[in-house]
Structure 1
Amino acid sequence: MGTTLDKIRPAIRFGVFRVADQSYTDFLLRQWAAACRGLGVAGPDVERVAVDIRDVLSPWGSRPIGTTAGPAPSFVSADGFPAEMSLSWRGINPEIRLLWESLGSEPTARSNQEAGQALTRRLADKPGVSISRYLRVEDLFVTPNPATYRPTVWHALAWRPGNHPQRLEYKVYLNPQVHGVEHAPEVIGEAMRRLDLSVPWRSVGRRVRELAERGHEIEFFALDLADATSKPRVKVYFRHDEMPAAELDTVAALARRHDSGRAERARRIVYGDTRTITNEPMTCLAFRHGTPAPEEANLYLRLPDNTRSDAEARDRVTRLMRVEGIDPGPYQRCLDLLAPAPLANTTGLQELLSYRTIDRGPADLGLYLRFSTYDHEATVGEARGDDVTEQHHR
């Protein structure tokens, strides 16, 4: 689960964004616009998407970011900032995504959880969104007393330039450990039963205890907020503790369309020849109706603690893109526009690289970006008198 912190440590992210006087929404929209420019996307569609972003971040997004995450830091980021951005290359057009934890009216985890629940219901009015599956399982993932600095009810939106700007794709992320780590398998099993996904889950569910003993622990549960016509997915995320590099593919290999050989090549490009994985990468399995097992696997390779700078991380990601036949130019332009300082002087802007194989064409690659806005990692022990558990994040 990580190690208990003895004291507040300096931030592992250099190149902090100095945006204390800006609102969450204004800063995130600035970064969103920069990503669009980097990808060569412009015009009224970008503005229409920005209107939706401003709406879903309301009302809390109008608050100033400030200089500290406060007594209820978000688990989205190591410093407690409640949002991240990601870029995905799948097919011809890239996709731009934003993930966030809604902040409640009070600085508590329970208030944030309630804000997330309320937003889910509000999203039901968006074109193409359905929350019916979420409502079937919501009670499994909420509690009257959620823990501080743990996931509550998070959301993500995605837009692929070229698609209609008012039909964004939404997803909700939930915490299967909300009633304790030891109960996560039962929570997931019941959720899958309610969602009529017991059959594809069976091959994984019967192994979750064994997988946990080997260092693969269930961390997140996610739902596409879409109706059945779009073949929505349910995703289960596993976090990997310290383990031999050869063990890392164990969970992903359970997916029907996963190519272990190509995934191993990607891991070597990003991690080098290391024999032991220590920085808690993740694997996500995707489930759909009508299939006998998980369909796809996303491997999330963590970049901080593995590269000396964002420039070095960029070089490794660029190499992988070229191997996969993906033009790295837009990715490199986005980094230059999004970074708070030259990439050789920063680390941690690029948090995760996701890798997924579906067919023989280029893999789906995703880059997850964290915007460090505070000068130290989030801690809650000082305020509560508790031990603080340091964990990496999705």
Structure 2
Amino acid sequence: MNVAPVTLFDHARRQLGELCRVAGFPDGGRDAVDVLRELLGAAGRRPLTEPPLWPSDVADDATPVEFSVAFDESGDRAVRILGETIAENPGPASNIETAKRFLTHMAQRLDLRLDRFAAVEDLFLVDRPQGKFALWFSVILRPGRAPALKVYFNPQVRGQGAARGLVAEGLRRLGLSDAYDTVTEYALRRGAADQFSFFALDLDDGPLSRVKLYISHDSADSGTVERAAGAVEGVDPLLVRDFLTTAGGGPGPYAGRPLISSYSFVEADAGRPGNYSLYLPIRDYVPDDAVAREHVLAHFARSGLPSAELDRAIAAVTGRPAAAGVGLIAHVSLRLGRFGSGTTVYLSSEAYAVQAPRGRVSASATF
């Protein structure tokens, strides 16, 4: 009897279904699985016995999908899918066209708002994109609600030197020109060491539909991101320091993969962000996932979050021992501000490879 080979979609579907059950979806996230199938497209139909269809930068092993679980201080939970849609015959231009077709279909299915996407599309979706990606998607899933969608553009798609101008023009077209000055004042203070890394749009029509700006901070220490957090009214920068000390192991500098700040802007308050988030690429600063888990659990304990839920989320994605690899827990982020606070844990699918544990953290990543 011939058994069909396991495809990328088969692998990711099981993980997503288990995560949705952990998060309290009564139907195991059936609608979410349908969206995942379309998001993965041709890459999802490919057997895992074959190499990745495209060297996606979504994950270290080129898997074009990553999962995360948001633990809100309110007690709410969300499951998120970060993904890249790959063409049957992949390439920078063909991937963009395939991604746009996916977006058009999702807009019809989910009644998405595409006017803001259309307003900036020509800035970021170019014929010869530079960098590691051009268009990614995030699918946000909450029990009892329809899936929501967010798009990520690459500010460096025309080259690193053009990024600031692209972001400024994108914000101007969206009626958020003042946001650029705010971000420059608080987060772009160290020349080339601070760079725009993502320009993201929520595609719903609600009053809190966001434009999000992400800034990478090379070799930054706690002081850099504490200053960045100060752009959001009411945010205590000491919470950022505590997060890095607990989850990251110290104040830095973080000389491996960079810390990333993000700001959320809405039309009603164009000049001031409503939220600040700090993303720690924890996999670069631990020898293995057992240590990463300990660091995240320490942060959970300080934040009053339930440790058992973290372990259930990890078990939903993998059955391997945590000490057997590094990168399953790829990032952990702290979210602060009036749009809601909480912690998000990002989990790699590891469809193609498990990164070997390190004997110790490299010298460039120590404090």
Aligned with 2:315 (options 336, 341, 359): 336
Q: Secondary structure at the match of 2:108?
A: coil
> What's 1:74 paired with?
56
For residue 112 of structure 1, report the CA deviation from its aligned partner. 1.1
> What's 2:31 paired with?
48
Which structure is richer in relative contact order (CA contacts within 8 A, separation 6 or more)?
1
**1:251 and 2:234 are equivalent in the alignment:** no
Given that residues 124 and 153 in structure 2 are in contact (C-alpha distance below 8 angstroms), is that contact kept between their aligned partners in structure 1? Answer: yes
> What's 1:204 paired with?
183
**1:58 and 2:58 are equivalent in the alignment:** no
> What's 1:16 paired with?
none
Given that residues 257 and 296 in structure 1 are in contact (C-alpha distance below 8 angstroms), is that contact kept between their aligned partners in structure 2? Answer: no
Alignment of 1:102-251 (within 5 A): 102-147=85-130, 150-161=132-143, 163-164=144-145, 167-205=146-184, 211-213=189-191, 215-227=193-205, 229-251=206-228
Aligned with 1:272 (options 243, 249, 258): 249
For residue 128 of structure 1, report the CA deviation from its aligned partner. 4.2
For residue 319 of structure 1, report the CA deviation from its aligned partner. 1.5
Unaligned runs of at least 5 residues, structure 1:
1-19, 378-394
> What's 1:32 paired with?
16
> What's 2:365 paired with?
none
For residue 205 of structure 1, report the CA deviation from its aligned partner. 4.2
For residue 77 of structure 1, report the CA deviation from its aligned partner. 1.5
1:57-79 Cα shifts (integer Å, max 9, x gaps)? 33542222444335x41111222
Question: Aligned equivalents of 2:315 and 2:174: distance in 1?
Answer: 42
Distance 1:310 1:96, change over 3 A: same
Question: Aligned equivalents of 2:20 and 2:354: distance in 1?
Answer: 29
Q: TM-score scaled by structure 1?
A: 0.82
Indicate the structure with greater helix content: 2
Work out the number of aligned pairs and report it: 349
Question: Aligned equivalents of 1:376 and 1:320: distance in 2?
Answer: 25
Unaligned runs of at least 5 residues, structure 2:
356-367
**1:364 and 2:342 are equivalent in the alignment:** yes
For residue 315 of structure 1, report the CA deviation from its aligned partner. 1.5
For residue 47 of structure 1, report the CA deviation from its aligned partner. 2.1
Runs of 4+ in 1 over 3 A off after TM superposition: 55-60, 205-208, 373-377
Question: Aligned equivalents of 1:118 and 1:222: distance in 2?
Answer: 18
Distance 1:327 1:375, change over 3 A: closer
Give % identity.
Answer: 26
For residue 136 of structure 1, report the CA deviation from its aligned partner. 0.7
RMSD: 2.4
For residue 122 of structure 1, report the CA deviation from its aligned partner. 1.8
Distance 1:188 1:364, change over 3 A: same
Distance 1:214 1:207, change over 3 A: farther
Given that residues 186 and 228 in structure 2 are in contact (C-alpha distance below 8 angstroms), is that contact kept between their aligned partners in structure 1? Answer: no
Question: Aligned equivalents of 1:124 and 1:32: distance in 2?
Answer: 22
Aligned with 1:263 (options 237, 240, 243): 240
Supply the AA of the counterpart residue of 2:59: S
Question: Aligned equivalents of 1:128 and 1:104: distance in 2?
Answer: 24
For residue 212 of structure 1, report the CA deviation from its aligned partner. 4.9
Question: Aligned equivalents of 1:38 and 1:313: distance in 2?
Answer: 20
Supply the AA of the counterpart residue of 2:327: G
1:202-228 Cα shifts (integer Å, max 9, x gaps)? 3224677x535162211111000111x
Given that residues 67 and 373 in structure 1 are in contact (C-alpha distance below 8 angstroms), is that contact kept between their aligned partners in structure 2? Answer: no
Question: Aligned equivalents of 1:51 and 1:96: distance in 2?
Answer: 15
Given that residues 216 and 251 in structure 1 are in contact (C-alpha distance below 8 angstroms), is that contact kept between their aligned partners in structure 2? Answer: no
For residue 314 of structure 1, report the CA deviation from its aligned partner. 1.1
> What's 2:361 paired with?
none
Question: Aligned equivalents of 2:333 and 2:51: distance in 1?
Answer: 29
Supply the AA of the counterpart residue of 2:253: T
For residue 105 of structure 1, report the CA deviation from its aligned partner. 2.1
Q: TM-score scaled by structure 2?
A: 0.88
1:37-88 Cα shifts (integer Å, max 9, x gaps)? 334x354362233233324433542222444335x41111222211100100
Question: Aligned equivalents of 2:236 and 2:109: distance in 1?
Answer: 36
Question: Aligned equivalents of 1:294 and 1:116: distance in 2?
Answer: 29
The more displaced of 308-317 and 176-185 is 308-317
For residue 126 of structure 1, report the CA deviation from its aligned partner. 2.5
